Amino acid sequence: MAVEVLEGGRTYHVRVDGDDTNDGLGDSPERALRTIQRAVDILYSSVDFAGHDVTIQVGAGFYPDTNVTIRGPHRGGGRLIIQGDVEHPGRVVLDSGWDRESMATIWVVNGAAVYLRGLHIRATSCDPGLLATGLRATFRGIIFLIGPMEFGDAAYAQILAGNAQFTILDGYKIVGGARYHLFSSTGSNIATSGDPEKFVVIEGEPHFSHAFACAQTMSVINWRYPFHGKATGPRHLVSDGGVISRKSIGTDLKTAAGGFPGSEPGTNRSGFYDGHVGGERLLSGGAPVGPLQGALVRVDMNTDADQIVPITCPSTRYLVWGAVMLDASTCLSNAMGGLYTRPGKQGTAVVSASQRYDGLVQAGLNQAGGAKALATTPNAVLDRHKLHFSLTTPEGVPAQATILIHILPIYDD
């Protein structure tokens, strides 16, 4: 199929009375498409953005059985924007279908990026094999919320990141419940802007059965927006080296005095919540120690040569809190080796030479085996901002994976 190179921005229209046999280039039943997915498919198969923005304009109405899947980057840069009614997001309602691969109303995966505004997102598909999520980003996918949104009921989570990123640049409204509102897993980051004028409105006291906000497996929720309204259920859940860092929450003491909305206390099992480690404040010389990601590096799993892992840290000394291997290019079965403070497998073994990587599966759908926690030396305090990953046994076939290291900066008085 021929690929058209755009000379300027373009808008594709989707309407409840459209038809997927149309070209989408007009806002009428005779020109508009019926589904967002058809617009995405056209763009990915036959359009080069050439640095321009392309908008999928979704008309008012209810769109059931919506499973929008966006795989990988589109051609030519620019932004892919999916837009509803920015003034009244509740007039453009998307609800999930039964696609057991995406398991989401909108799924962004494998390095794709999408910008959203003016939409009401639901995800009510629910049976023993499918608990749908509203917005789902996995495996380096990025979702930007750049304008007003609404979140209705979801079977699992309203916002979910797995080895991916959410950047929230505007306030929004929550009008329904879920197991989780925010779910960050496997080296992900969900973050808001620092705009003091932005906030989240909650209507009707929705229930979040597992936690309003969950961060696990070396993931971060970096939150700045206050909440106006109430919800029920646990406020937060932090485990397996997850991090929740909040600023500005609590400025409205009537709605956010205890952190995230909820009617039950949050739980910090084994991570960091506003500088608290497993529920206890970690101090060094009287100064608070805060969580920070130290490194996220792609490594070759089929060589025994040293590979440099730079550590980003504002302090001279730091504590290694944990390490995870994930996003393998192929299933690993043979690789073994460690992480050292000096080249040639010398110095402190932060991860020992006997660490095996078998069982780490190829990047896929957040399935079991998609990430492997590494055994790090307990209480390893280091002052070197460059570590060395070195295998004693290479995989034996071409293979790559990502190593994620979390550290705690130490500030001495």
Task: Please give the structure tokens belonging to residue 148.
Answer: 């007003």
Domain end, chosen from 229, 251, 280, is at 280
User: The domain that contains 378 carries what CATH number?
Assistant: 2.60.120
The secondary structure element, H or E, covering residue 298 is strand 292-300
Same domain, 378 and 297: yes
DSSP 45: H
Same domain, 252 and 317: no
Same domain, 295 and 262: no
Same domain, 209 and 246: yes
The total number of structural domains that make up the chain: 2
Cβ-count burial 202-226 (b if 16+ within 10 Å, e if not): beeebbbeebbbbbbbbbbbbbbbb
Q: pLDDT at position 239, please?
A: 85
What's the CA gap between 376 and 35, in Å, rounded? 48
pTM: 0.72
What's the CA gap between 84 and 170, in Å, rounded? 15
DSSP 18: -
Same domain, 234 and 338: no
Q: Is 150 helix (H, G, I), strand (E, B) or coil?
A: strand
Same domain, 215 and 150: yes
Range of the structural domain that residue 316 is part of: 288-410
DSSP string, 78-144: S-EEEE--SS-GGGEEEEE---TTT-EEEEEETT-EEEEES-EEEE--EETTEE-EEEEEETT-EEE
Domain end, chosen from 248, 280, 312, is at 280
> For the chain, which ranges sit under pLDDT 70?
247-258, 275-296, 314, 361-371, 379, 409, 411-413
Which residue is it, tokens 């925010």?
Answer: 182
Which residue is it, tokens 């390893």?
Answer: 380
Same domain, 185 and 320: no
Q: pLDDT at position 194, please?
A: 83
Q: 256 — phi, psi (to 5°)?
A: -140, 30
SS3 breakdown of the chain: % helix, strand, coil, rounded to 5?
5, 50, 50
Same domain, 175 and 299: no
Q: pLDDT at position 201, please?
A: 97
User: The domain that contains 133 carries what CATH number?
Assistant: 2.160.20
Contact (Cβ atoms closer than 8 angstroms) between residue 234 and residue 262: yes
Same domain, 118 and 179: yes
Q: pLDDT at position 322, please?
A: 76
Same domain, 146 and 81: yes
Same domain, 99 and 126: yes
**CA atoms within 13 A of residue 289's CA, in its CB half-sphere:** 25
Q: Which residues contact 59 (CB under 8 A, 6 or more apart)?
A: 13, 14, 15, 16, 18, 27, 32, 92
DSSP 384: -
Single out the residue of 338, 313, 312 nearest to residue 325, CA to CA. Answer: 338
Q: What is the side-by-side strand order in the sheet with 61-66?
A: 61-66, 92-96, 120-123, 150-154, 172-174, 200-202, 227-228
What's the CA gap between 153 and 18, in Å, rounded? 26
Same domain, 215 and 334: no
Domain end, chosen from 280, 296, 329, is at 280
Query: Looking at the DSSP assignment, which residues form a beta bridge with residue 407?
Result: 292, 320
Q: Is 55 helix (H, G, I), strand (E, B) or coil?
A: strand
Task: Please give the structure tokens belonging to residue 296.
Answer: 């996220």
How many other CB atoms are found less than 10 A from the CB of residue 314?
Answer: 9
